[in-house]
Amino acid sequence: MEKVSGEPVEALGSVQFSVNTAGGGVAKRTLSKSGEMHPLEDFQRIIELNLIASFNINRIMAKHMSGNEPNADGERGVMINTASIAAFEGQIGQVSYTAAKAGIAGMTLTMARDLGSVGIRVMTIAPSLFDTGLTRGIPEAGAQQLTKDAAFPRRMGRPEEYAIMAIAIFESAMMNGSTVRVDAGQRFAPR
């Protein structure tokens, strides 16, 4: 039997809310114009970083949450994963990232069904471009170019806007098994 370390959870007393924001990618076409194939190792690494790590965190959190005392509705915990709008309209060169983030969105309903019997909800947030560590170095002109196709506002999202959605999901027991886009109406073009 696999042992799940509970030291951090025990230090907190329990865990009722988990937000997973694993992410990262590479810009590689499946086959470049010069005939270079996308390295399989890069694809596997991005799947591991995004999809497998997200599943692993969820299974560990589910184990801990399942031992919680249920609230009046029978709920023991809420888990939120982070996909991306690239899960639905990935750009050229994002094949590994798109596959990983689509996998996260795809496992949301099934995992919610798996964990419903123990009172754990599962949701996914699919953000567009947000002003985080990965994008912080983009010059303002570049950020405007990247967000020009958003409906409104035409800017990168702010971390607190992601947090507002995460809190809303936590507070609304009816939010379960779905992926919510937080993207200002942005739809990625092919490039």
Q: Which positions are annotated as active-site residues?
A: 97
Residue whose structure tokens are 């899960």: 87
Cβ proximity of 89 and 145 under 8 Å: no
Q: Compute how many other C-beta atoms are within 10 angstroms of the C-beta atom of residue 12.
A: 11
97: left (phi over 0), alpha (psi -120 to 50) or beta: alpha
Rg (CA), the chain: 18
